[in-house]
Amino acid sequence: MSGPFTRVFLIVLDSVGIGELPDAAAYGDVGSNTLGNIAARVPLKIPTLRSLGLVQLVPALSSINDSRPLLRGAYGRMAEASPGKDSVTGHWEMMGIVLERAFPTFPQGFAPDLIAEFERRIGRGTIGNVVASGTEIIDRLGPEHVRTGMPIIYTSADSVFQIAAHEEVVPIAEQYRICEIAFELVGKGLGVGRVIARPFVGTPGAFRRTANRHDYALDPTGETLLDRLVARGIPVLSIGKIHDLFAGRSTGRAVHTASDAEGMDHVDAAMTDVREGLVFANIVDFDVLYGHRNDVGGYAANLERFDERLARVLPRLRTTDLLVVTADHGNDPSTPGTDHSREYVPVLLAGARVKAGTNIGSRSTFADLGQTLAENFGVGPLAHGTSFLEEIVVDHP
């Protein structure tokens, strides 16, 4: 490794966007601003994120507290160059893949002949096959599922084939087998970005999803930063759904998590246990529990909880550490829809060797981040992106 940072902690706040992209109208997302619209409604107490430069990127944060914090990090925003607004697209682009075509979506549901073939292969009928919110469709169709044993099939504005089933009706192992069959049909067959197992438990009126979610994603379509790191023997630790989003390719040691708190516990442990390389974490509750449920208050509270955890991380950074906080798309809980939104994402950078107060501007692709890390670890250049390493480092060797 030839750069100034021996360890990089990359934390992706799933869906924490900061304002509509120029092409938001094409996605039905005009007016979306996940963080800005929340801040306009709730007096957010996020002093750590503000001090890393978030206050410079989100005007609504200034109105919460007129005193500007002393900036202790570099900051900027990134636009998504790939078409789409899902987690796979966002994470792949961060790692160096810019898609030419979006993954296919199914706003009218999946074709009847495909569903028929799926049912034939799994030996069960299905219900649903509509665009829906995951919690809403479980409440609506859960009783019929429990009565009949037929899995609930649904999709969204993203390229997903989601399968919900009660753990006591369809055991987890069987749910995963069904998802593997679906992935053969719609993932490998149609190029759908992800098949997602959505297990739930409980009784009618009180169903709740469990932590046994599992994502089946397509193999990355190009070489990623992760591939380069692993090929060079540079350690990678993947926390949360990172392993799933990259289909397990070059994700190093992977740990799944049941909550954001557990994800941050693993980040804390890595600060002691990991000597070098990349710690890549996805913090997903923002999206799953609050964005998709239009829960502005819950989203705000989760931001504050994360801010408190981040405040405990910063003092533990070593001299040669880099902390990066960013996002993969938006999911504005203040808008009528429950889908992801096409937004800019923040990129906040901190560490002893980071030039505090540096504005790296508005980057044209998430791949700039991957290119920056590739230069730091001496594994670049990647196919896409422009490094901003020299802009942020106090004394680049």
User: Which residue, 343, 336, 345, 342, is CA-closest to 133?
Assistant: 336
For residues 213 and 263, give the distance between their C-alpha atoms in angstroms, rounded to a whole number. 15
* Residues 380, 350 share a domain: yes
- With cut-offs at 50, 70 and 90, classify the pLDDT of residue 151: very high
Mean pLDDT of the region 46-55: 95
Write out pLDDT tens, residues 13-22: 999 999 999 9
135: containing domain: 112-216
| pLDDT tens sequence across 311-365 | 999 999 999 999 999 999 999 999 998 899 999 999 999 999 999 999 999 999 9
The CATH number of the domain holding residue 131 is 3.30.70.1250
pLDDT of residue 157: 86
Please check whether residues 252 and 324 belong to one and the same domain: yes
How many domains, the chain? 2
Of 186, 216, 246, which closes a domain? 216
Confidence (pLDDT) at 397: 47
How high does pLDDT run on average in the chain?
95
Mean pLDDT of 93-105: 96
DSSP-derived secondary structure for 208-227: EE-TT-EEEEPPPSS--HHH
397 found inside a domain: no
What count of Cα atoms within 13 Å lies in the side-chain half-sphere of residue 360? 33
3-state secondary structure of 61: helix
- CB neighbour class for 177 (10 Å; exposed up to 12, middle 13-18, buried from 19): middle
Cβ pair 307, 35 in contact under 8 A: no
Residue closest to 329 by CA, chosen among 61, 78, 154, 102? 78
Higher pLDDT, 337 or 115: 115
Q: Residue 5 CB: number of other CB atoms within 10 A? A: 28
pLDDT exceeds cutoff 90 at 62:
no
Both 375 and 250 in one domain: the answer is yes
Residues 368-392: tens digit of each pLDDT: 999 999 999 999 999 999 999 999 9
Claim to verify: residue 15 and residue 152 sit in the same structural domain: no
Whole-number Å distance between alpha carbons of 197 and 163 = 5
- For residue 171, pLDDT over 60 is answered with yes
Same domain, 250 and 367: yes
Euclidean distance between CA atoms 75 and 80, whole angstroms? 17
Mind listing the pLDDT tens digit for each residue in 230-272?
999 999 999 999 999 999 999 999 999 999 999 999 999 999 9
168 and 93 within one domain: no
Looking at the fold, whether 184 and 206 belong to one and the same domain comes out as: yes
Token digits of residue 84: 């789409």
For residue 85, which phi and psi values (nearest 5 degrees)?
Answer: -155, 40
